[in-house]
Chains A and B, each alone.
Chain A
Amino acid sequence: MEAFDALMAGFGVALKPINLLWGFIGVTLGTFIGVLPGVGPALTVAMLLPLTAKLDPTGALIMFAGIYYGAMFGGSTTTILLNTPGESASIATALEGNRMAKNGRAGPALATAAIGSFVAGSIATALLTLLAPVVVDLALKFGPAEYFSLMVFAFITVSAVLGASTVRGLTSLFLGLFFGLIGIDSQTGQPRFAFGVAELLDGVDVVVLAVGLFAVGEALYVAAYQSRLTETIETVKGSVMMSLEDWKRSWPAWLRATAIGFPFGTIPAGGAEIPTFLSYAAEKKLSRHPEEFGHGAIEGVAGPEAANNASATGVLVPLLTLGIPTSATAAILLGAFQNYGLQPGPQLFQAQSELVWGLIASLYVGNVILLILNLPLIGIWVKVLSIPKDILYAGILVFATLGAYSLHQSWVDLLTLYVFGLLGFAMRRWDIPVGPAVIGLILGPLAETQFRRALAISQGDPTVFFTQPISATFLAITAALVVVPWVVRKWRSRDSSV
């Protein structure tokens, strides 16, 4: 009950008119910067953070919460409209979201993203309030062996994004795995595939890969094959709002995605990539319209977006209770909290309960402001699609190159961007799916690291993966996922042949 009172007091402060104003300013700025193609939430938050420094801690916190949610939603907007995800967590959204936009359904796609983010954010905030101390103990049980088994599980599950041809899907995955190998080996410090180029020692940045494959690849493809088409694409078909059918298909996806996203956010090496892709895979499996996937299925937007937001809230559990940032954005959050005088760590909830509950209330209020501000804006965002192509793509590429250049202030990253652009062009032309490459780049290095860590700790004994209960559970589920459908198919085919 004490927590409840503290939370209410937090709301009391967060709902003061002046603080609400800061919240609105934060959401607006966050959305408008986050919406720039190639500029992801981490970069947006990092850039806007100094603006909050001049406010008192409560005002700063709520403005910050606004920036955070605004940046995430802004990123999803660009992803859906322009197929240019600025961070790894919105790549799953790009798969169906941009298809919807191309079919003239950008409005409902943006709406399901906004409302789904709100629903997931609200539930996740409530879970954060109630469960933070319990969840964190469970999360700490995850060691290298558990992570590795989880990665195996994720790799198998995301085979749902492999696409029309198994061999081309696998090729994409392995290309991603290869890109993930570039740079300094985390376990021994050995440079691999960097060929003496200092910019490559840190590895291929997922932003460069995503922006290159999607934004630059898209520009090359559209210019090469579609620039002379005269007929205008119908930008908005039907209502910009969601139909009843859209609602019916979206809400179960939101809830499932929240259930997937929040726990992943809480484990101390989680991040939002795995849950967004898992949610995509789950929706594809469970949908009553699987044939729509790849052509703009609304569940494929609703799920990953909600999962992204739920995991973004889940990330606060290890961040607040242990002081562990689990994503790039979380690392910036940690710095911000310290600036506001919050010292995340095991003592935080006791020592600074007022500020913590203020933060949680701020996050909730920021979430509401986001919804209020962005639902009416959807009609305006959709108009971005009617900008003439020459201006639109020229603008996209100015921002895309800005994002890549800001990594090391070096032309090498721009060259890498172009190379990935060529790859993206080829992949689109010959129908090689892009998703697996991104998954390979993100999960590959994680899986390798955890595999080798687990074996180092066990001194080379591979049975650790089976003897530790959580790890063994994941492997068993994975095995079941592979074997059960196969057995069912066999059984059915025998059945029908009789």
Chain B
Amino acid sequence: MKKFALLLLSLFALPALAQPSLKMMIPANPGGGWDQTGRGLAAAMQSGKLASSVQFENKGGAAGIIGLAQFVNSSKGDPNAVMVGGMVMVGGIILGKSAVNLSQVTPIARLTSEWEVVVVPAASPIKTMAELVKLLKENPGKVSWGGGSAGGTDHILAGLIARAVGVDAAKVNYVPYKGGGEAIAAILGGHVTVGISGVGEFAEQVKAGKMRALAQSSPSKLDGIPSLKEQGIDVELGNWRGIFGAPGITPQQRDALVKLVKDATETPAWKATLEKLGWTPVFLGGDDYGRFIEEDIKRVGAIIESLGLKK
């Protein structure tokens, strides 16, 4: 306990401390993807002696909006405050009509991406993506898509696929489930035509031959599953996760954080985390990351609107 007290004191006395003591906001409850990202990164920072300590604050709920609002309001100008976030937040902000949004925080770096997979139950007559597309074009209502929450990554991918093959995204018959797990039962039981979720979520079922993977959303072939692009559907979608800094920090402070995170991603500890969780590293720092987010907000916003969700 004394150590903590001293640390806090030294924080006030020496703002230019070589190893910063970070405060990390994780806008989700412990255990999920954001929590694993944040804690994995913090462990990497510590293993590389890049940060002297990291204090976590988990504040879950509403696709991260609650944590985001708190971060925006309470950490203004704090060069040592960071927050985990990702694509799910982009949709959540739009659907939840949130008063705060991602333009109010400072983009630091994109870290990981999880690709999405399109599956059918083993007994389904649909064998290939082309057959699915044909069915979709004939009668979009007859193809029910089971996946995660409305307006989430899975729903967005269904919309993007439809639009790419020339079907009105608003005609997609998407049936939201509480998450990949609940959707698995609906897919295996044949209650929906197609299933969409993160690659890892369905991996066991695909391996066991209970589901057939038709395509996945990375740029190229992955685990023997052809990508959408390879099959002539121009869609690429990764459920990305990244790090943000506090609102109103100086460019120097931001660059320091970008460097800190970049160094952390080069540690063996971080690589081991990625390996263990099966995440693809897609590092993108500073301004590039900022531009990427702007693009993504536009893309997600447009597709959510065309899905008929934004009221």
- Chain A residues with a Cβ under 8 A of chain B: 46, 139-144, 184-191, 196, 198-199, 201-202, 268-269, 318, 322-325, 331-332, 334-335, 343-347, 407-410, 453, 456-457, 459
Contact = CB atoms under 8 A, between A and B. Distances in A.
Contacts of B95: 184, 189-191
B2 to A, nearest CB: 24
A170 to B, nearest CB: 29
A141 B191 CA distance: 8
Contacts of A410: 59, 66
A196 B97 contact: yes
B309 to A, nearest CB: 5
Interface in B161-184: 173, 175-176, 178, 181-182, 184
A409 B96 contact: no
Q: How big is chain B's contact interface, by range?
A: 35 or more
A241 to B, nearest CB: 41
A456 B96 contact: no
Interface string B127-156: 000000000000001101000011100000
A106 to B, nearest CB: 34
Contacts of A185: 150
Nearest to A141: B189
Given A189-B150, A199-B61, A459-B142, A453 B175 contact: yes
Interface of B: 30-31, 57-62, 65-66, 69, 95-99, 141-142, 144, 149-151, 173, 175-176, 178, 181-182, 184-186, 188-189, 191-192, 204-205, 207-208, 210, 309, 311
Contacts of B144: 456-457
Contacts of A184: 62, 95-96
A334 B179 CA distance: 14
Contacts of B207: 347
Main SS class of interface, A: loop
18 contacts: A139-B185, A140-B189, A142-B185, A184-B96, A186-B178, A190-B95, A191-B95, A191-B97, A196-B99, A198-B62, A199-B61, A201-B61, A201-B66, A202-B61, A202-B62, A268-B185, A408-B59, A459-B141
Contact of B57 (A202, A325, A409): A409
A143 B191 contact: yes
Given A199-B61, A202-B61, A186 B210 contact: no
Query: Which 9 pairs of residues, A with B, have the shortest CB-CB distance?
Result: A345-B204, A143-B191, A268-B185, A201-B62, A140-B189, A189-B150, A346-B208, A189-B95, A189-B151
Contacts of B57: 409
A408 B309 contact: no
A325 B182 CA distance: 8
Contacts of B182: 268-269, 324
A188 B31 CA distance: 26
A3 to B, nearest CB: 19
A198 B66 contact: yes
B73 to A, nearest CB: 12
Contacts of A459: 141-142, 173
Nearest to A452: B175
Centre residue among A140, A144, A198 by max chain B CB count within 10 A: A198
Contacts of B311: 190
Contacts of A347: 204, 207-208
B301 to A, nearest CB: 13
Contacts of B58: 409
A324 B60 CA distance: 22
A189 B59 CA distance: 21
Given A346-B205, A346-B208, A347-B204, A188 B150 contact: yes
Contacts of A323: 181, 184, 204-205
Contacts of A334: 181
A459 B171 CA distance: 11
A408 B150 CA distance: 22
Contacts of A268: 182, 185
Given A191-B97, A324-B182, A324-B185, 14 more contacts: A143-B191, A144-B175, A184-B62, A188-B150, A198-B62, A198-B98, A201-B61, A201-B66, A269-B182, A318-B185, A407-B61, A408-B60, A410-B59, A459-B142
